[in-house]
Amino acid sequence: MQAIPYGRQHITDEDIAAVVATLKSDFLTQGPQIEAFEKAFAQVIGSKYAVALSNGTAALHLCAMALGVNENSKVITTPITFAASANCVRYCGGEVVFADIDPKTALIDIDSVRKLLEASPKGTYHGMIPVDFAGYPVNLEEFRKLADEYGLFIIEDSCHSPGGYFTDSQGVKQNCGNGNFADLAIFSFHPVKHIACGEGGMITTNNEVLYKKLLQLRTHGITKDPALMHENHGGWYYEMQTLGYNYRLPDMNAALGLSQLQRFDEGLARRRFIAKKYDEAFVGTNIKTISAPENFGHGYHLYVIQVENRKELYDFLRTKNIFSQVHYIPVHTLPYYQSMGYKKGAYPNAEEYYANCLSIPMYPSMTDQEQEYVIEQILSFCQS
């Protein structure tokens, strides 16, 4: 059996042709593919606006900047996420405050967020960054209510959940990242994610003011829009009005993303099919899994199992050419955050989750045969 990773990209001849066509065009950096990709992505997600960026981390950084995070900001997020969800607050000089997870969902626990907010005077916190971890959608309607009580912004880290949705109190399906509850949402197009650009990211929003701010921050804080400029010296003239970055996505990468987007539904359906097969295979075993309620659409970036002898299983699977992975080492326990005074033991649910979790292979191009082999090996380990 060929090596089976925990996740991987799927590149077709159409994808390759799209990239080659862009290479032969006039635009290598930001060109027509960017706008086409942004439009198509916003449509799939159901947001008004989308801004393509060089990667998901750059997207998080610009979100924090656009929402005014600074040295006086305290922003709440979950320890069970990729470090970038927290780092974006640090880029802007703000303080990261973690809230523990709910062990039933592995998502940030709203009660633990509420406790933090209630324990300090109003105005202490600036915002929150909930993460649709593994693809399980956060119920953002509930988080929005809480955020509004305390005047907080919400950045939704939807990297794991394009195509995921929760059902709100009115019975309406709310797509992850659709901007109805979060001020801004971000996605990544790293090859293990649903859509691969090589490197790439996207911010979605329904807020026009933030949208325009993001366009400017993406390209050095520069504008060429005569309506926005203070002066105008001629055709060459531009103004750098604020300190931005070069976080542009190259047109080749956007062409790849746009081509991949054509197979988005297919890929998501395949992920859900694979998840269902795993769910069924692990019923009645000592393997714990998390699935979302019926009226939630899980995005299944990851399929996570929880087992007591996680390290032994990880090592065993490697000997069988199956490369599982752990998501995530709790962010507050990483040496950088430890050096800033965050304490191990502070978030017991997150730490217990980390002790037992293992992400097993989940990607659309995994064959039935490969998945059966994975299941067989896991069950044989757990029964021995």
Ligand X SMILES: *Cc1c(COP(=O)(O)O)cnc(C)c1O
Write down the least CB distance from residue 190 to ligand X, Å. 4
Is position 156 an interface residue for ligand X (rule: CB under 6 A)?
no
Q: Does the footprint of ligand X cover residue 259 (CB under 6 A)? A: no
Closest CA to 259 of 43, 10, 15, 30: 15
The residue (of 56 and 79) whose beta carbon lies closer to ligand X is: 56
160 touches ligand X (CB under 6 A): yes
**Which range touches ligand X (CB under 6 A), out of 54-62, 144-152, 309-317, 370-378?**
54-62
Member of 157, 183, 251, 351 binding ligand X (CB under 6 A): 157
Instruction: Tell me how far apart the alpha carbons of residues 161 and 45 are, in angstroms, rounded to a whole number.
Output: 10
Q: Residue 288 is inside which H or E element, if any?
A: strand 288-289
Residue 194 binding ligand X, by CB under 6 A:
no
Residue 56 is a binding residue for ligand X (CB under 6 A):
yes
- Using CB under 6 A as the binding rule, whether residue 81 contacts ligand X is answered as yes
In the shown chain, the binding pattern of residues 279 to 298 toward ligand X, with x for contact by CB under 6 A and - for none, equals --------------------
Q: Which is nearer to ligand X, 22 or 81 (CB)?
A: 81
User: Which residues make Cβ contacts (< 8 Å) with residue 206, sequence separation at least 6?
Assistant: 47, 48, 49, 178, 179, 180
Smallest distance, ligand X to C-beta of residue 228, A:
29
Size, binding site for ligand X by CB under 6 A: 14
Q: Which residue's CB is nearer to ligand X, number 84 or number 305? A: 84
User: Footprint of ligand X on residues 59-78 (CB under 6 A)?
Assistant: none
Which residue in the set 6, 82, 150, 296 belongs to the binding site for ligand X (CB under 6 A)? Answer: 82
Q: Which of 8, 90, 190, 298 binds ligand X (CB under 6 A)?
A: 190
The helix/strand/coil state of 205 is strand
Main-chain phi, psi angles of 307, to 5 degrees: -135, 150
Residue whose token pair is 């990468």: 253
Q: Helix or strand or coil: residue 262?
A: coil
Q: Which two tokens stand for residue 244?
A: 């931005």
73 close to 155: Cβ distance less than 8 angstroms: no
* Binding-site member from 92, 101, 128, 131 for ligand X (CB under 6 A): 131
Binding mask 13-52 for ligand X (x = CB under 6 A): ----------------------------------------
Nearer to ligand X, 4 or 62 (CB): 62
332 binds ligand X (CB under 6 A): no
CB nearer ligand X, residue 223 or residue 301? 301
What is the Cα 105 distance to its own chain's centre? Answer: 16
Can you tell me which of 76, 84, 89, 117 binds ligand X, judged by CB under 6 A?
Answer: 84
d(CA 254, CA 28): 10
DSSP, residue by residue, 115-174: HHHHTS-TTS--EEE-B-GGGPPP-HHHHHHHHHHHT-EEEEE-TT-TT-EEE-TTS-EE
- Closest distance of CB 225 from ligand X, Å: 28
Residue 9 in contact with ligand X, rule: CB under 6 A? no
- Kindly give the residue spans of alpha helices, DSSP state H, lying in the chain: 13-23, 32-45, 56-66, 84-91, 110-118, 140-150, 208-218, 251-261, 264-282, 310-319, 335-339, 348-356, 368-383
**Residue 359 is a binding residue for ligand X (CB under 6 A):** no
- Is residue 85 within the footprint of ligand X (CB under 6 A)? yes
Footprint on this chain of ligand X (rule: CB under 6 A) = 55-57, 81-82, 84-85, 131, 157, 159-160, 188, 190, 201
